[in-house]
């Protein structure tokens, strides 16, 4: 800390220019002069609060600890002492007219008014219905015509069970291991950005709920709280995974990987299906939400081109990422590496060849390339064309999984575990209790499905208990590799 002295409003107001900019946040005065040009949201937003208390505006967008993590203690000029006789000016109305206006932002949605009692929600769909307010568009949106988004779920429903009868199903176990981590159920919380938009505790509530229910949370690179605060919110030795967008500034990625390892994160899920963000039109049609990711530093916004917050937040992602980088990620982190976003049998085989520890069959919940095939089809294709993959690495899958029946179908087809994304974001409208309640619902549905199928352990699930004929015709014999195309020559 540069100073331990108490600073008054008069002291603060003397530093209100672009070359000498101080702001007060949560009782400390920060010198942000050198950070103005580095701020992902632009310098003009900070300059509106130059020489003033920016706490309220800061809290609308940022996690509490992002300023200390970003600037460091040496930028603290002192404690902010506001005597009762001092009156804070309105920095927005006082801002010069030449400055850019602060993008409109929505208040953090804690829960919709008049929401039903939590106990009355009995399915993942119920949480989605409650969440249809505020930031619903960002969470629910998918790419362009929503074809992939809808197929993820509809194709799962077309796979039928073939239950066995007269089995002793008095005792049932859902316990399993995911990347060496013991867990109470074969599903985990998939990474999703900006959980704070649903509840003030955001990813902290997810961590606490996951800890109580003994399941794994995969933390998004675009989480609204810092990695350390999320891990600290959990129980001692609680397992966490980290989803990674590789930054075009590779030293920043290396720093994050080392920090994750030091914090005890158990695995890195590298997103490989989104070098750019998909076009999410529903996201674009809502009012702009200004919010910053505490881990990556990305700032959500609206680009007026049909990309919405997702496109703006993805600008830092390295578009040159390739197979050779897998070795670097493993060496820097020293952790198991899972490729998140595998969508073909050919790439699943390459993941084995390049030394991945696991793959996650995912199309980004239909949020990247629309009309990409449903994740369950990719899983079926692996079983048909390269079943040896399952012997070399763990296979996870997400996209449209909202029922216990969905989860068991994936396990029967060879998946180690299933990722659940949007439902957990919707559950946050009830905070930690919502996370726990949704988890209990999914566990109950899975346990019921096991018993009705004649199984007593998730490890007993196998393809023979399924009838996939209604979707088998969609699984062809083509690996998806590049092939030369014969082109007719024009006759002159």
- Catalytic residue positions? 245, 273, 364
The residue whose two tokens read 């632009």 is 42
State how beta strands 176-178 and 181-183 pair: antiparallel
Residues 41 and 299 sit within 8 Å (Cβ to Cβ): yes
Measure the CA–CA gap between 158 and 156, rounded to whole angstroms: 5
- The answer to whether 344 and 363 are in contact (CB under 8 A) is no
State the DSSP string of 205-222: HHHHHHHHHT--EEEPTT
Task: Classify residue 366 by its DSSP letter.
Answer: G
Burial of 219 (0-12, 13-18, 19+ CB in 10 A): buried
Burial of 212 (0-12, 13-18, 19+ CB in 10 A): middle
> How far is residue 388's CA from residue 391's CA, in Å, rounded to a whole number?
5
Round to whole Å and give the CA distance between 408 and 413: 9
Q: How many CB atoms lie within 10 A of CB 160?
A: 13
The answer to whether 414 touches 186, Cβ cutoff 8 Å, is no
DSSP for residue 173: B
What is the distance between the alpha carbons of residues 187 and 184, in angstroms, rounded to a whole number? 9
| CA–CA separation, 416 and 465 (whole Å) | 17
288/285 Cα distance (integer angstroms)? 9
Q: For the purposes of burial, counting CB atoms within 10 Å of the CB of 476, is it exposed (0-12), middle (13-18) or buried (19 or more)?
A: exposed
């Amino acid at each position: 800390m540069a100073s331990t002295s108490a600073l008054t409003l008069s002291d603060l107001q003397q530093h209100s220019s672009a070359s000498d900019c101080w702001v007060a946040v949560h009782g400390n005065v920060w010198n942000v002069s050198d950070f103005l040009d580095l701020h992902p949201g632009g310098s003009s937003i900070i300059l509106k609060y130059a020489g003033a208390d920016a706490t309220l505006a800061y809290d609308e967008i940022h996690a509490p600890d992002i300023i200390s993590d970003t600037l460091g203690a040496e930028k603290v000029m002192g404690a902010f002492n506001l005597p009762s006789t001092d009156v804070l000016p309105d920095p927005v109305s006082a801002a010069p007219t030449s400055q850019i206006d602060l993008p409109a932002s929505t208040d953090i949605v804690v829960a919709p008014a008049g929401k039903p009692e939590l106990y009355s929600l009995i399915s993942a769909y119920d949480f989605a219905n409650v969440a249809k307010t505020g930031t619903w568009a960002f969470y629910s949106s998918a790419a362009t015509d929503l074809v992939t988004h809808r197929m993820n779920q509809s194709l799962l429903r077309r796979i039928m069970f073939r239950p066995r009868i007269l089995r002793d199903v008095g005792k049932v176990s859902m316990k399993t291991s995911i990347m060496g981590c013991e867990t109470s159920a074969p599903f985990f919380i998939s990474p999703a950005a900006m959980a704070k938009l649903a509840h003030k505790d955001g990813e902290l509530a997810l961590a606490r709920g996951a800890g109580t229910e003994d399941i794994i949370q995969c933390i998004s690179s675009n989480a609204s709280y810092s990695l350390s605060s999320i891990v600290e919110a959990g129980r001692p030795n609680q397992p966490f995974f980290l989803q990674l967008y590789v930054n075009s500034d590779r030293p920043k990625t290396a720093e994050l990987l080392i920090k994750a390892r030091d914090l005890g994160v158990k695995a890195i899920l590298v997103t490989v299906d989104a070098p750019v963000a998909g076009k999410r039109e529903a996201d674009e049609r809502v009012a702009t939400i200004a919010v910053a990711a505490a881990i990556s530093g990305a700032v959500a916004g609206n680009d007026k081109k049909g990309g919405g917050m997702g496109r703006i937040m993805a600008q830092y992602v390295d578009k040159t990422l390739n197979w050779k980088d897998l070795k670097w990620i493993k060496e820097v982190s020293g952790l198991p590496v899972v490729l998140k976003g595998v969508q073909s049998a050919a790439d699943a085989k390459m993941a084995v060849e390049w030394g991945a520890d696991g793959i996650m069959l995912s199309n980004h919940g239909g949020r990247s390339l629309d009309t990409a095939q449903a994740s369950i089809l990719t899983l079926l294709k692996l079983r048909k064309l390269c079943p040896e993959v399952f012997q070399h690495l763990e296979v996870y899958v997400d996209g449209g999984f909202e029922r216990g029946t969905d989860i068991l179908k994936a396990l029967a087809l060879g998946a180690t575990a299933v990722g659940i994304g949007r439902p957990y974001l919707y559950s946050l409208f009830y905070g930690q209790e919502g996370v726990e309640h949704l988890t209990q619902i999914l566990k109950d549905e899975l346990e019921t499905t096991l018993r009705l199928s004649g199984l007593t352990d998730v490890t007993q699930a196998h393809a023979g208990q399924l009838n996939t004929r209604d979707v088998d015709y969609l699984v062809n014999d083509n690996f998806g590799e590049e092939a030369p195309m014969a082109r007719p020559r024009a006759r002159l």
